[in-house]
Amino acid sequence: MSKLFPKSANRLPLQIVVYLVVLAGIATAGVTYYMTPKYARVGYAPLQPVPFSHAKHVQEVGLDCRYCHSNVDKSGHSNVPSSQTCMNCHSIIKANSPLLAPVRESYANNTAVPWVWIHQTPDYAYFNHAAHVNRGVSCVECHGKVNEMDTVTHTQPLSMSFCLDCHRDPASRIRKPGDVFNLNSARLVEQGEAGAKAAEKFKHDWKLMPPQSCSGCHR
Amino acid sequence: MKRKFDHPAPAAGEELSGPRYWRSLDELAATPGFRAQLEREFPEGASELNGFDRRNFMKLMAASFALGGVGLTGCRRPEKFILPYGKSVEGVIPGLPSYFATAMPIRKSAIPLLAETHQGRPTKLEGNPSYEPNGGAASLAAQASVLDLYDPDRAKAHTKGGVVLKAEEVSALLAAVAQKYAATQGAGLAILADESSSPTRARLVRELRAKLPRMVWSEYEPVQDEPPLAAAQAVFGAAVKPVYHFGKAKRILSIDADFLQSEAGGIAHIRGFSKGRRVTKKGDAMNRLYVAESALSLTGSMADHRLRVATSHVLALTAKLVATAYPAAESAMAPFAQGLAVDGKWIEACVADLMAHRGASVVVAGSHLPAEIHALVYGLNTVLGAIGETVTFVQAESAPGTSTLSDLAAAIKGGSVKTLFVLGGNPVYNAPADLDWSALQKSVPEVIRLGYHVDETSSLNPAATTHLAAAHYLESWGDARTHDGTVVPVQPMIQPLFGGLSQIEVLARLAGEQNVDPYALVSATIIPLAGAGAKSDKVMARFLHDGLLAGSAYRTVDVRYDTAGVQRLFGAAQPLPKLGASNLEVRFVADAKVDDGRFANNGWLQECPEPITKISWDNAILVSPKLGKELGIDPKGSLLQVARKETAEFYMGKENARVFELSVGGRRIRGPVHIQPGLADYTVVVPLGYGRTVSGRVGKGAGFSAYPLRTSAALHFVTGAKLADTGTRMFLANTQEHWSMEGRDIIREANFEPAAKPDGNSYQENPGYVRSIGMESHSPTILGEYGEKMSPQDRATKIPRGNSLYQTPAFDGHNQWGMSIDLNTCVGCNACVVACQAENNIPIVGKDQVLRGREMHWIRLDRYYSSGTIDAEAFGGAGNVELPSDPQVSLQPMTCVHCELAPCETVCPVNATVHDEEGINTMAYNRCIGTRYCANNCPYKVRRFNFFDWNQRSLDSLYMGPASEYGMPELLKMAKNPEVSVRMRGVMEKCTYCVQRVQNAKIQHKAKLMQRNQGAPISLEEIRVPDGAFKVACEQTCPAGAIVFGNILDPKSAVSQAKAREQDYAVLGYLNVRPRTTYSGKLRNPNPKMPDFNPLPFSRVEYSRKNEPAGHGHETKGDHKPAKKAPSHGSSLGAPKTGGLS
Amino acid sequence: MAHAEHSSPAHPLLQEVRPAELPRAVLVENNRSFNWITEKICGIIEGKTPTWWWICFVLACFVASFTVAGITYLVATGVGVWGHANPVNWAWDIVNFVFWIGIGHAGTLISAILCLLRQKWRTSINRAAEAMTIFAVVCAAIFPVFHVGRVWFAWYLFPIPNSNAIWQNFRSPLEWDVFAVSTYGTVSVLFWYVGLIPDLAVLRDRFFAAGNRLRATLYGLFALGWRGSNRHWSNYEMAYLILAGISTPLVLSVHTIVSFDFAVSLLPGWHTTIFPPYFVAGAIFSGFGMVLTLMLPLRAVYKLEDLITQYHIDCMCKITLATGTIVGYAYGMEFFIAWYGANPYEGFAFVNRAFGHYAWAYWIMISCNVITPQFFWFKAVRENTALVWVLSIFVNVGMWFERFVIIVTSLARDFLPSSWGYYSPSIVEIFTFFGTFGVFSVLFLLFIRFLPVMPMAELKAVTPQADVHGGHGNAKH
Amino acid sequence: MSAQPYGLIATFDDVPSLYHAAESVRDAGYRNWDCITPFPVHGLDKAMGLRRSIVPRISLAGGITGFLTGMSLIWWTGAVDYKLIVGGKPYFSPMFAFPVAYELTILFTAFATIIGMFVLNGLPMHYHPVLKYDQIRRGMDDTFFIVIEARDPRFNLENTKALLARAGGKAITELEA
């Protein structure tokens, strides 16, 4: 009697297994990549209504972060400046540059410039700027070197694990209070032996104990 | 931070007048109104707030922009926008709430408040601490009033005969009226207003009446919360009103007066009362409260001796009291005391006790009582030397020439009224039935109504009625006086959302003032009040900053009691009505929640259970168990009565009440009957304020209206009523099915003073009595010997293993949070329930869901009755079948107690609820998948589950799922607290110890520290949040100061002190869950000389019966007596034999 | 009858012992031949689909649709569509879960434990019983999965690395359940499938011979090229024995862990150490009830009296009787401990069960679980198939109510009287549960239609002719 | 047939004859041969001189792996990667880790056992010369075969045929490879 399965059929099971393994691998990799905040956020650099360049304003003009983000060390979240703040200078400098039209218009009839929102945390995560900048965590840790950016780009994933990395080991991230708003400064630990000691001292002296349980960020 | 709130010109307001607000966002985006609104609602960076509602709002807005072609949608995720101010607003720091002083006016008084605003949105109200008598506390109504501001059903435009009027049209209309009647000196013009304490309104009214002398100015309030001036007028010859100082009172006798809740100045009363009640250590004094009342009020529930007496018999009782206290008056009083069926010993002992504390005792009579009684009570206080001590009399505001509703009615009948203004109030709904107000109002050619809702009065005759949308007190300028007369500002937090007007704005326009800007009007009143020479702007700045005008309280007058005056008041003595099932007494009371109906459309109040009956969303005809039996209402128990029988009939866990018809004098109403222990046997209590026919979605159809029974002659109580079964039934949303503590050790009570023959049970003899009750009292200590030796601080961090298999990891936080609740001072006002609701974005679920037991309150007040009659046997005895006719009431605020060894955490499979290092039992909503295992394993049953999308779906279409519309009304979004996540369906929630407040306090404190000691090391003591730097919502609003929250690592903190008390205990402590919230045991202070004295609180009697049936209880020898008695005779245990008279 | 002169431990399955307590019953009546067995069992599959099957199948699908509808509505709307509310946050959902899991246990028990105990009478029923297990687990799994508030996040239950860097709480009995039930399901399927392989090979060749290449290929694929080689048999036997060996502790652990859901909590009426044994006994009890409920009609319809003999029914009745009595004892013991423990909360919980608002449920439970099985003392009853079938139904009902009583009454009235409540199911719950019987039937009908309802190889192995020393030589064909 | 056949197959009608035939083949010293039976014939392994199956060792290995996986998973997630205070219980304790570890033990044992069995049996193998034998169908039903493979050193068409015939085998046929 003729056979039901050809000889080749014997290789079939093995092949199936191999294919499955490969597929599973690809799927996992894909999910891991496309579903992590890193993918969704890092590199996000939308077009803003006004092509504002942090690089120019910080490096050339030499503005401090707090000139515009004036409440970052007082309030839970760092405010985006009102058009009034812009007009402080731009009523004189580039007073009628077409690029600044939206700002002037907004200032004139007191409407809002719809800045595109880049650094978002989820609704249920309560990040507090004041808590961080007052305790030696520099802007650069989460926002990257904004001072060198012409268009602001999302550089860190800002995922829970990202937060935890720092909360579990604050000493390795902190700066001298003076350096917090100096985005070119180095972390204490990156300043050699002394720096590392300083970091530990900082942590101990100022009782740094970042929360690692839910209530720190979720309410 | 309190400062004058810079207010843009009202002009901007018009652009966002009513209806447009409701159109879809993309359409709205086009309107200038939207921009204006953005500027007001979304100031600098506001959109970065993490509050869910705000995020959601931004999403919607982004979407709408996209539709409008303004924005682009990102390819990877929808773009969101940050919409900062064009021009910065001074003093507003995005993300930080601002606080402004204001006040909630109500009748002739006001509650000073601080409003927490987030970028111009008031979200939470708190009492203003600068007003000393209230000490920062607020009432239930005040807490809830912020929701009214965002009531989607409020009147959103001025209309005339259904046509919308613009602001200037309104001004024109009012000007026209003013002109028209200037000619006739006001003849034909009548104004009916609700009562108000506003000096500005008073001033404007004076001006107006000067201009239009023949105008009729009348005021009407359906409910009285201040004693009638007539009494004082008669006996003191002056229009004075009493102000009580319960803080000084050692002995208090309340004659049918619910001074803790429904009387004006309730908050101050509670505060004073609890001051005299608080016992922190052995040797402290404790006041004693005697209450004689017909209903069971909150005040009555606090009574040490309670006498059930029909309100129609109160005069007799008072007469007897006077006769006993002041023998000289005996003969005069005799005829009035005729036929009073009250145990004479009760009265004698009571009076003796009061007299023994001359100068430190006080008698209070309910405002609803006739002037005679008040006159007598003033006399009693004189005899007791109370006047000037525990009660002072102040010059009352009196506006001579103000006519009553009846006068106005007469005028209208006479046809002399051509134009009628109805400012506030709601006469069509709540005017006395005999006036037939609807007909009268219809007969007036022109009616102009200033109302917050389009209610019964506004919609009576739409064609002929002009409705002016009233502004909420949080969006309008004004002023008011507190109960003691202190002038307080009513300061707007936000522009009128719908361009509403306040009364003073209307009156000013009528009076033809040049400057009708309300701020100008108010300052014009206040500056003179401040006294000559004061610099005006300084005065106002200070006034608004403090939230009160220092030293502006009513002048105290010393009064002479004039006995002759009393005789003038009294007519011939009437025989006492013989009450019975066929001749019932009906008592009309303002509802504890919706008051006289003014708050009927407030969801928070509607859903909040009535403090005593525990019924939400309805009122009921309350009858005593005895009457209930006679009416044939006999709830059946379970197969073999294993627990105390329910007082109500239940169908599948829902109270299935019989609907009765209550008729008196030919008038009749229908309502569900609810058996209420503690009532005078033949007094029927009907709360007012329900059964609104024209109201918002919330208020409409809730309960029944009792107004149709009221006549001008008998506004507060009437006899001769009958109840007849209609054969129909309806469900009542009763949030507490079972009323008895079942002899369990949940609320631990003791008498304050020893009995005549000491038995070692009283607090004096055994301050640590709580430890001789409950499983812990005879089981090995759960902390283990080692743990017992530890200091409270060590216990909080090291968590002694006790006899457990497991060693708990150390809690290494800088602070360790804990709470202490004093059961002895809590009066059960429920303010905490709504305060928590406002602070934590807790949704309401509607009657249907409450019926199913799905209410979401994070803190609830458990109310237990005890009567000393419970069956000693495990089950099946007569003692369990008997309903208590005269119970003792025990109240217990119950919320998450944050167990150190939390059973809920152990069972959550996904780590959604875990402990933080500071001892808070946290709840990560976003991690929760909703297995509800935690709720099952919570012994306190304080976890609440989002069975539906309460926030996103309308409550009447919950079961339609996706078929129903998604999303919450914009207005309601504005009410949400951006500091707290709004929970979605399918997640568990519960009290978080206001973790948002805790965290913000910590952060602010640390920021300050870092800026203060630049670089210098910070000590562990420094890093701790200073005690009292912040308060959690329930603690903050508690008038009794019964709730204390703080850091238990700090031995000096208030909470550590409270926990150090000997009467501090953990509910269900034997479970070894180690709650961080502990309770201070309840004390009762009965008078051993009283006939109804019982050596033990009833709950204790029941405890002993259940747990030491033979009476072998150590420490509770006193139980022998009651325990030996036959279970079925409650009264023999010392329940007042005088109870249940008729 | 066959005799075993020598027994080598290496081949336990082949060795026939005579358990003292059991009579040497005839396991295959009328001394049937190998071929007869093959024909008989394959016949069921090869014959044309009977009308009654179609009727039942359509009916079952209809009933199953209730579950589908109920679950869809639930997920779309929220758990609120069920009757749950504070304080009763678990009710029919978990009741049904425990009920179905319990039923499943008999299958594993028959195939595993009886296999270890050398109870050869299991051979004719173990295949169907195992199938029952798997289908019951499927029905059971529906409830815990869909009772959660946010089922789309149910994957939080599995330790998958994610950007939130958060893990599961392995202290939670519910998390133990996740592992227990999924392991149980997997192992049951494997065990069942391994048993099927030789029979699939039979079908493969028969269909091939009959020229039905399609079905031959299908069966063939799953037969994995089985060719009855004795070198294979020897590994196969060993593997099968080991699977049986691990299934036994598995089945015990699964219901133990299910009982932990309650025993580990601190709720009066849940918090009792007696639960694990008591639940396991209950599971076996209900399981055998279900086996009887299913096998008796099957036996009648397919004329399998020669394979499922009176002796089989007898054994199952006796086990039901035994476990039923154990359960009864547990009920009694609960009360004793509650009284003896002198904890007022515990005491009340049990008094309340028997005489409180849910007394009706309690007494249904008692009468079905404690009284019903006592009838099995009588041979007359055991031999009256119809009666046995009816009684087995009672057992199922009773066991459902046991779970209801344990879960709902304990929750409805716990520590604080202020939060006492009463639970009643919504129509959605009722239909969803009713529907699961449809789901079960659909699966079971498909099984009896397309797979051998009895393990042919094993049956043949227990016939006299299977003995290497002849026994009754030639069987009649 | 031209090519070297796979081997010889002989038919036996009942168990005893197969049993004795197997013994004789074994005694003849063949290695690469096999019996085909519709059900596991008790005692046949001995008759064929097979050693005890090594599946149990594989299972044991699987079980141990499973248990360790469980314990280490719970220890690492709870006590190393993310320490959370849950219900006041320790970060790790074998007590609460046990149920899960236990279940994983069983799961892994099951997998190891079955995979081990298949590997040892060289299954799945859908194509096999024996399966091409036209009577093989009855081998799944009620007939017994002995197959002797041609690659056996002792295989010799004639002698082997004779041996099988002596052993009572009927219908001795060559199996094409």
Is it the case that residue C159 has pLDDT exceeding 70? yes
Is it the case that residue B205 has pLDDT exceeding 90? yes
Set of chain C residues whose Cβ sits within 8 Å of the Cβ of B905:
169
Set of chain A residues whose Cβ sits within 8 Å of the Cβ of C225:
5, 10
- pLDDT per position as a tens digit, C11-52: 554 455 444 444 445 556 666 778 888 888 888 888 888 898
pLDDT at residue number B21: 31
Do D48 and D59 sit in the same domain of this protein? no
Q: pLDDT class for B997, splitting at 50, 70, 90? A: very high
> What CATH number does residue D46 fall under?
3.30.70
Do D117 and D101 sit in the same domain of this protein? yes
Nearest to D134 among A1, A4, A213 (CB): A1
CA B836-B839-B844 angle, 5° bins: 65
- pLDDT per position as a tens digit, B602-625: 999 999 999 999 999 999 999 999
Distance CA B875, CA B639 (A): 10
Is it the case that residue B922 has pLDDT exceeding 90? yes
> What CATH number does residue B616 fall under?
2.40.40.20
- Determine whether the interchain pair C86/B986 forms a contact, defined as Cβ–Cβ distance below 8 Å: no
- ipTM for the predicted complex comes to 0.90
Is it the case that residue D168 has pLDDT exceeding 50? yes
Region B987-1002: what's the mean pLDDT?
94
pLDDT at residue number B193: 94
- Is residue B749 in some structural domain? no
- pLDDT per position as a tens digit, B442-489: 999 999 999 999 999 999 888 889 999 999 999 999 999 999 999 999
Do D17 and D71 sit in the same domain of this protein? no
Distance CA C420, CA B650 (A): 12
- pLDDT per position as a tens digit, B98-126: 899 999 999 999 999 999 998 888 999 99
Do B629 and B715 sit in the same domain of this protein? yes
pLDDT at residue number B1139: 35
Does B964 lie at the interface with D, CB-CB under 8 angstroms?
A: no
Does C419 lie at the interface with B, CB-CB under 8 angstroms?
A: yes
- Residue B234: how many CB atoms within 10 A of its CB? 22
pLDDT at residue number C430: 94
Give residue B55's domain range.
11-149
Q: Mutate which of A2, A4, A161 to test chain C, going by most C C-beta atoms within 10 A?
A: A4
Q: Which of B95-99, B307-311, B885-889, C306-310 has the lowest mean pLDDT?
A: C306-310
- Mean pLDDT value across chain B: 86
Q: Mutate which of A5, A8, A14, A167 to test chain D, going by most D C-beta atoms within 10 A?
A: A5
- Percent of chain B at pLDDT exceeding 70: 89
Region B1104-1119: what's the mean pLDDT?
55
pLDDT at residue number C138: 93
Region A51-62: what's the mean pLDDT?
90
In this structure, is the dihedral angle defined by the CA atoms of residues B319, B322, B323 and B324, taken in order, positive or negative? positive
pLDDT at residue number B537: 77
Give residue D110's domain range.
55-121
- Determine whether the interchain pair C11/D137 forms a contact, defined as Cβ–Cβ distance below 8 Å: no
What is the least distance, in Å, from the CA of B309 to any CA of chain A? 50
- Is residue D81 in some structural domain? yes
Q: Which of A21-35, C106-120, C376-390 has the lowest mean pLDDT?
A: C106-120
pLDDT at residue number A24: 94
- Is residue B256 in some structural domain? yes
Q: Which of B6-15, B660-669, C347-356 has the lowest mean pLDDT?
A: B6-15
The structural domains of chain A, with segments of one domain joined by +, span 41-49+117-216
Is it the case that residue C10 has pLDDT exceeding 60? no
Does B909 lie at the interface with D, CB-CB under 8 angstroms?
A: no
Do B730 and B588 sit in the same domain of this protein? yes
- Determine whether the interchain pair D133/A1 forms a contact, defined as Cβ–Cβ distance below 8 Å: yes
Does C356 lie at the interface with B, CB-CB under 8 angstroms?
A: yes
Do B134 and B205 sit in the same domain of this protein? no
Q: pLDDT class for D164, splitting at 50, 70, 90? A: confident
Does B905 lie at the interface with C, CB-CB under 8 angstroms?
A: yes
Region B1122-1132: what's the mean pLDDT?
36
pLDDT at residue number B872: 66
Is it the case that residue B433 has pLDDT exceeding 50? yes
B853 φ, ψ (degrees, to nearest 5):
90, 30
- Percent of chain C at pLDDT exceeding 90: 51
Give B 921-950 residues with CB within 8 A of chain C: 927-933, 935-937, 939-941, 943-949
Domain count, chain D: 2
Q: pLDDT class for A74, splitting at 50, 70, 90? A: confident
- Determine whether the interchain pair C14/D89 forms a contact, defined as Cβ–Cβ distance below 8 Å: no
- Determine whether the interchain pair B1010/A216 forms a contact, defined as Cβ–Cβ distance below 8 Å: no
Region D4-14: what's the mean pLDDT?
85
The structural domains of chain C, with segments of one domain joined by +, span 26-158+170-464
Q: pLDDT class for B680, splitting at 50, 70, 90? A: very high
Set of chain C residues whose Cβ sits within 8 Å of the Cβ of A36:
163
Do D88 and D108 sit in the same domain of this protein? yes
Nearest to D140 among C187, C202, C466 (CB): C202
- Determine whether the interchain pair C14/D41 forms a contact, defined as Cβ–Cβ distance below 8 Å: yes
Q: pLDDT class for C158, splitting at 50, 70, 90? A: very high
pLDDT at residue number B457: 92
Residues in chain A: 219
- Residue B67: how many CB atoms within 10 A of its CB? 14
- pLDDT per position as a tens digit, C385-442: 999 999 999 999 999 999 999 999 999 999 999 999 999 999 999 999 999 999 999 9
Contact B112, B132 (CB under 8 A): no
pLDDT at residue number A120: 84
Region A16-35: what's the mean pLDDT?
89
CA distances from B193 to B170, B190, B423, B456, C197 (A): 19, 10, 5, 16, 91
- pLDDT per position as a tens digit, B121-147: 899 999 999 999 998 999 999 999 999
Domain count, chain B: 4
pLDDT at residue number B574: 86
- Determine whether the interchain pair B806/D93 forms a contact, defined as Cβ–Cβ distance below 8 Å: yes
- Is residue D164 in some structural domain? yes
Question: SS3 helix, strand, coil % of chain C, rounded to 5?
Answer: 75, 0, 25
Q: pLDDT class for D106, splitting at 50, 70, 90? A: very high
- Is residue B461 in some structural domain? yes
CA distances from C382 to C125, C282, D78 (A): 17, 20, 54
Set of chain D residues whose Cβ sits within 8 Å of the Cβ of A6:
127
pLDDT at residue number D3: 63
pLDDT at residue number D71: 95
- Beta bridge partner(s), residue B501: B470
- Determine whether the interchain pair D77/C202 forms a contact, defined as Cβ–Cβ distance below 8 Å: no
Region B879-896: what's the mean pLDDT?
91
Distance CA B411, CA B409 (A): 5
Set of chain B residues whose Cβ sits within 8 Å of the Cβ of C173:
907
- Is residue D2 in some structural domain? no
Q: pLDDT class for D42, splitting at 50, 70, 90? A: confident
- Residue C404: how many CB atoms within 10 A of its CB? 24
Do B33 and B74 sit in the same domain of this protein? yes
- Determine whether the interchain pair C163/A5 forms a contact, defined as Cβ–Cβ distance below 8 Å: no
Q: pLDDT class for B67, splitting at 50, 70, 90? A: very low
Does B50 lie at the interface with A, CB-CB under 8 angstroms?
A: yes
Is it the case that residue B288 has pLDDT exceeding 70? yes
Q: Which residue does chain A place closest to B1002, by CA atoms?
A: A131
pLDDT at residue number C210: 84
pLDDT at residue number B29: 40
User: Left, alpha or beta for B817 (phi > 0: left; psi -120 to 50: alpha)?
Assistant: beta
Is it the case that residue C64 has pLDDT exceeding 70? yes
Do B627 and B711 sit in the same domain of this protein? yes
pLDDT at residue number B42: 38
- Is residue B380 in some structural domain? yes
- CATH number for the segment(s) C26-158+170-464: 1.20.1630.10
Is it the case that residue B878 has pLDDT exceeding 90? no
Region B626-641: what's the mean pLDDT?
85
Region A146-160: what's the mean pLDDT?
89
Does B786 lie at the interface with C, CB-CB under 8 angstroms?
A: no
Region C217-232: what's the mean pLDDT?
88
Give D 81-100 residues with CB within 8 A of chain B: 83-91, 93, 95
Do B602 and B698 sit in the same domain of this protein? yes
Region C267-291: what's the mean pLDDT?
90
CA C354-C355-C358 angle, 5° bins: 75
Structure tokens at B334: 């005799």
Distance CA B632, CA B358 (A): 47
- Beta bridge partner(s), residue B41: none
Among B395, B426, B461, residue at a domain's last position = B395
Region B652-675: what's the mean pLDDT?
93
pTM over 0.95: no
Among B100, B123, B149, residue at a domain's last position = B149
Q: pLDDT class for B874, splitting at 50, 70, 90? A: low
What is the least distance, in Å, from the CA of D177 to any CA of chain C? 16
C274 three-class SS: coil
Is it the case that residue B823 has pLDDT exceeding 90? yes
In the sheet that holds B98-106, the strands lie side by side as: B98-106, B109-118, B121-127
Distance CA B546, CA B128 (A): 9
